[in-house]
Structure 1
């Protein structure tokens, strides 16, 4: 079977290749196609993969492609991990917001909307091509902002596209470890949007352990997320918010570290050195430095496993492989995924993409379980963010600057027509790709 990775020149792609190679007993991927528009980056990542797979028994073949049609033809599953505008685009996404005193983060608030505006036209084109030349392929979307991009791709691919993020499963497993439960056997009621969700139960063998966790302050302090939240506040909430909810706290806009600029410099140094001997060792050292600085502006302690290059709880590469195995091999799995709402949150349209506990098998992925209603405060936040996301999709597809203005101005982290207008003007001035998208008043 063939796996195609769009954005195959991405720095973290070797993690995906490693995970796929180790999972061949679960799902027999014998060829991995790496697609990217930058042949130099592809050559470096292919060299890293070759060194890391050298000597591995029955390792999959790795092929590189710069032509999209050639890359997706024949694919059984497609991982979409593209970054339109590259890491320099991320710098601009964050800086324009920060210059206005707003949150500068690549997936949350103004930065995420700017990222989406230039990404939606591209993923629309990708999805249309996949629907034409590989209609039976499953598409697993990592591309941020994950929920919004998945919703856009569903227009063309329907249920054949599923969005993933490693944050929810990381939260679930962190909670399981905090109370001494086997983290691979836990399920729970998780609900919200991507980077805006809450874990409301922690279930093992029919028992909900979340109340016991919330009642035990020492156990709460063992959570990875305890570095982000006042644990007494978690007890008051009665649930566990995902780590990105931290960015909705008022003081957070002043706590940003300029991570995007750091990643630009770090990746440039790595890729500029080329694919020479020892490239896998250089990649691993660079990855360890990258992961150790993850959310360092918000965390007071680290939870990084340098031997594997990821924080505890698994990375998106593991989530993607688990999903792929369930879809292609048909072995049922419980996961937390970005899927169509289909009535789970009654206040949202059925076709709105939410992040939710799900069951996956060869027939696809669908929400599972009895989901408690969101608290009114949570529902208000979710509805406000989803409204902005849908306006951003409309703006990207129609080229309307007025729709983009509304998307920015009505976002819960902005809530200002004047700031919304300044964001549109600022992003148009800073981002050449966006000027090609927003072409109408």
Structure 2
């Protein structure tokens, strides 16, 4: 199997390499290609990746290239992990919305719209090359935020794509630890849109253990997502921590105004990691990588690739390929209040060469309203990302539930375009 990672110069890539080497028995990887426009990062990340594979005795050949077409040529699957504009653009996304009293975040709110506008055209251009040069039927696995919008862009353009996020697998691992069971024994009732989801059940052996967790460990679970215990008790579910930007917007904004941005923290971690990667004696995953973010992404990616190849996942419980995995895919009636072509995030099974979503119980009215509102914003955001134009950006900005007011949306749109004109040809 040949796997290409576009954005392979990311400091996070050694986490993926670690997953590939640990699960070599279920994922027969022959060739791993890191594709990235930054030659220095490719040299450092590729170097430690090769040393890790050699130390593990893994037979895969790891190569690096800045030539996208050559990198994806003949690939069985392509992982997208892009950050257009790097941490500088992320820092901007996390700060300029503050001028209008909105949270700054790279996937949610005004900053998330900016990231979508920068990212969607690049992702679509990459996907066109993948369609031309990769193996027939090759899948694109999108880990690039905002995952829901980017994945819908790919699907709308006719690409064979699925979105992947680490939120669900993070909850699965934490719930399993709290329950004292193997992670593969926990099946989540995960539902919503990317970065707008709720865990509505945690089934182990046919029994939903989430009500017991909320009854016995309410404070602990609430602390994990930084939300009030009373809110979780009322909901009877566990919101993703991204819902804190909605449920506690003003509190989060106050914190952001007095704290360094996540981009600043990641930038410091990346400098540390690149220095470690440059050391030719280092051939294992550095401990500092745990602070980089993206926990369990390697496990989620390996699980997904294994399932798509029809092998068996060699997790703690040896779960079968048919076990549902949380992905981002077309709605197709699963949430009946959304259009069929919208992208939702729910458990799905890979069967017959495609992902088939599980049916989910109707959402409570409050959650349904929020999901519908954000989905409406996402559709307008994708329209703006594909077609450009200040009017489209303004329409998407105004539709976001964290904005709504026209005057605020006008000011945020001007700030967004001023910060991102270099990435948007139509805005120059």
Give yes or no for TM over 0.5.
yes
Whole-angstrom CA distance in 2 between matches of 1:245 and 1:165: 15
Whole-angstrom CA distance in 2 between matches of 1:269 and 1:56: 24
**Residue 110 of structure 1: aligned partner:** 110
Q: CA deviation at 1:383?
A: 1.3
Q: CA deviation at 1:93?
A: 1.2
Correspondence for 1:341 among 293, 308, 331: 331
Q: CA deviation at 1:362?
A: 5.9
Whole-angstrom CA distance in 1 between matches of 2:38 and 2:336: 43
Quick check: 1:324 aligned with 2:305? yes
Q: How many residues align?
A: 413
Aligned residue for 2:102, secondary structure, equals coil
Q: CA deviation at 1:274?
A: 7.4
Correspondence for 1:374 among 363, 375, 386: 363
**Residue 230 of structure 1: aligned partner:** 228
Aligned partners of 1:107 and 1:145 also within 8 Å: yes
Query: Which whole-Å deviations, capped at 9, do the CAs of 1:303-338 have from their partners, x for residues lacking one?
Result: xxxxxxx75xxx112101100000013532321111
**Residue 401 of structure 1: aligned partner:** 390
Aligned partners of 1:396 and 1:438 also within 8 Å: no
**Residue 411 of structure 2: aligned partner:** 422
**Residue 100 of structure 1: aligned partner:** 100
**Residue 148 of structure 2: aligned partner:** 147
**Residue 349 of structure 2: aligned partner:** 359
Cα distance change, pair 122–203 in 1 and its aligned pair in 2 (3 A): same
Whole-angstrom CA distance in 2 between matches of 1:227 and 1:396: 31
**Residue 301 of structure 1: aligned partner:** none
Aligned residue for 1:377, secondary structure, equals helix
Whole-angstrom CA distance in 1 between matches of 2:181 and 2:56: 33
Cα distance change, pair 17–226 in 1 and its aligned pair in 2 (3 A): closer
Q: CA deviation at 1:437?
A: 4.4
Whole-angstrom CA distance in 2 between matches of 1:272 and 1:209: 44
Cα distance change, pair 180–231 in 1 and its aligned pair in 2 (3 A): farther
**Residue 304 of structure 1: aligned partner:** none
Q: For structure 1, which segment, 221-230 or 16-25, has the greater mean C-alpha deviation from structure 2 after superposition?
A: 221-230
1:258-297 alignment to 2 at 5 Å? 258-268=261-271, 270-271=273-274, 275-278=278-281, 284-288=286-290, 290-291=291-292
**Residue 139 of structure 2: aligned partner:** 138
Which stretches in structure 1 are left out of the alignment for 5+ residues?
295-309
Quick check: 1:208 aligned with 2:213? no
Query: Which whole-Å deviations, capped at 9, do the CAs of 1:315-372 have from their partners, x for residues lacking one?
Result: 112101100000013532321111110101111110100011111246222211x411
Cα distance change, pair 202–65 in 1 and its aligned pair in 2 (3 A): same
Query: Which whole-Å deviations, capped at 9, do the CAs of 1:373-406 have from their partners, x for residues lacking one?
Result: 1111111111111111111111121111111111
Whole-angstrom CA distance in 2 between matches of 1:165 and 1:177: 20
Aligned partners of 2:201 and 2:208 also within 8 Å: yes
